[in-house]
A and B are shown apart, each in its own frame.
Chain A
Amino acid sequence: MISTGNDIIDLSRIDVQRTKQERFYSKILSQAETDGYLTNGLVNLPFENFIWLLWSVKESVYKFSKRRFPLLVFSPKRIITGLISSPLEDHLPVFEERECENFSLKKKDCYCCIINTETGQYYSRSKVYNEIIYTVVSETENFDDIWWGIKYIYDVSPACQSESVRAFALEKFKEIYPNSKLSISKSPVGYPVLNVNENAMKTPLSFTHHFRFVAYSFVYNSTMISKDIF
């Protein structure tokens, strides 16, 4: 069963001082993971961003796994992140656009990590901007079939976040399924399901939102329809 998982952190909403307290981050990271800040040479990243980067990776892995294991409970310390590599240019870019989609998830452009859990091994690609941290997870090192998008929203109410991320993803699906009736529903487990002409697709789809930002990820390539994977 193919899956996807993504997560976004709006850095304007994090409590920087609290994040840097051991009492806080020790609930999320093991000692070895914390030490990775130095051993992986990530010191160009502010320490609080490092903590939230790993949170984002762990949350994405959880979402990926939850589709396969519906009873799974989010337990950040049971999701173990390994070696983390930095993008070639590791300054923090500004998220300048109101929305962006499908920029490179190549290794050289992202923070990359291998993650191990009781449910398997996963790979992550994270983009860190001045304003946000965004992560997508895959079970292979190939991210070519992963589609993703991030959008800035003005109304941060829960209803608007939910509505905005659905509309944003549906705009992208319209390019793949032109002239079809598209909608998104929710599975009993809680993950989003794409419906095409009122038929539930198997397209793995993941939504995330945090305050001013919403994002989606899904897995798609042109052979999927012909192979009846959907």
Chain B
Amino acid sequence: MKKMDRQVILNELKKVLVPYTLNKEALNNINEQTDLIKDLKINSANLVDIIIDAENQYHIEIDMDSAERISNVGNCIDVIIEKMGSPN
């Protein structure tokens, strides 16, 4: 699977995050440093939902060891690119 541009993934990720984000203004200004919990005010109870939605979006599997690395948008893009490049 070819690697996608980080900006493309960020824009797609933004759509994934919409239903879980309470701070819509921060979502409009999202960048790779945006923290999912501190900035977007996403409840930790939704983190598994986001992982599953990202898996569906990119047809990948994100194991929990990888999921542990996800705290901001940039980490999330790193994991998605890594998993897209590795055989499932």
**Residues of chain A whose beta carbon lies under 8 Å from any beta carbon of chain B:** 9, 13-15, 18, 23-24, 27-28, 52, 55, 59, 73-77, 156-158, 190, 209-211
Contacts and interface: CB of A to CB of B under 8 A. Distances in A.
Given A77-B64, A158-B22, A18 B49 contact: yes
A160 B51 CA distance: 27
Contacts of B23: 158
A24 B48 contact: yes
Nearest to A13: B45
The 4 closest A-B pairs by CB, nearest first: A158-B41, A158-B22, A75-B68, A73-B68
Contacts of A27: 48, 51-52, 64, 67
B28 interface: no
Interface residues of B, number: 15
B88 interface: no
A206 to B, nearest CB: 13
B29 interface: no
A75 B67 CA distance: 8
30 contacts: A9-B45, A13-B43, A13-B45, A15-B49, A18-B49, A18-B52, A23-B52, A27-B48, A27-B51, A27-B52, A27-B67, A28-B48, A59-B44, A59-B45, A73-B68, A73-B71, A74-B44, A74-B68, A75-B64, A76-B64, A77-B64, A156-B22, A157-B22, A158-B22, A158-B41, A190-B38, A209-B43, A210-B43, A210-B45, A211-B43
